[in-house]
């Protein structure tokens, strides 16, 4: 007598649940890399800081690709009849959750450490003040107070688009669409 291992069928609730947990993992990786970069900037300078920042960026970038692949494959292996559309839904929802968490973290960092924004603006104004008129300088100066909002939305859009594109590309390969696969 053959034993059939029936897996649960996929549904929207399962995808939302998996995406929320996975989005938290993605956000944790991104936030950890950001904190490591900030910590490295506090204790390093010059070439070693540049190399460390590049390594952490690559870890973050390729780590997210690896994680997306891993969790899409996990979804396919854990449930019956998963389609490419469902893996794409999972990826989009992961991107949504992680982008929201990372954007919130970025906005909080700007609120907690406003001196970094002030220093960046002062450096930019000092560098470009000879090329800008007084209206442009005052417009740049007025942006300082809106930086938490600007940071939140720009980070959210960047992270969501990265996750969306990544999930679009990767969902085409999961599940494997081999028509000659064992049945």
Please write the tens of the pLDDT for every residue from 26-81: 999 999 999 998 888 888 888 888 899 899 999 999 999 999 999 999 998 888 88
Q: Where does residue 93 rank: exposed (0-12), middle (13-18), buried (19+ CB within 10 A)?
A: buried
Rounded distance, CA 157 to CA 19, Å? 18
Percent of the chain surpassing pLDDT 90 = 51
Residue 152: Cβ within 10 Å count: 20
Mean pLDDT of 137-159: 88
Rounded distance, CA 9 to CA 32, Å? 35
Report if pTM > 0.75.
yes
Cα end-to-end span (Å), the chain:
17
Residue 105 pLDDT > 80, yes or no? Answer: yes
> Which pLDDT belongs to residue 68?
93
Residue 128 pLDDT > 60, yes or no? Answer: yes
């Amino acid at each position: 007598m053959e034993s059939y291992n029936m897996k649960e069928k996929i549904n929207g609730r399962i995808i939302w649940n998996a995406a929320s947990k996975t989005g938290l993992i993605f956000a944790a990786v991104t936030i950890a890399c950001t904190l490591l970069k900030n910590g490295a900037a506090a204790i390093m300078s010059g070439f070693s800081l540049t190399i460390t920042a590049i390594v952490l960026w690559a870890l973050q970038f390729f780590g997210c690709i690896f994680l997306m692949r891993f969790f899409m494959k996990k979804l396919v292996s854990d449930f019956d009849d998963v389609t490419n559309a469902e893996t794409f839904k999972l990826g989009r929802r992961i991107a949504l959750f992680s982008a929201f968490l990372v954007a919130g973290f970025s906005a909080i960092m700007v609120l907690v450490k406003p001196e970094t924004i002030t220093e960046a603006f002062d450096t930019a104004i000092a560098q470009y003040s000879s090329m800008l008129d007084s209206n442009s300088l005052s417009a740049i100066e007025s942006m300082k107070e809106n930086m938490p909002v600007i940071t939140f939305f720009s980070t959210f859009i960047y992270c969501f688009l990265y996750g969306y594109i990544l999930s679009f590309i990767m969902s085409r390969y999961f599940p494997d669409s081999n028509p000659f696969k064992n049945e």
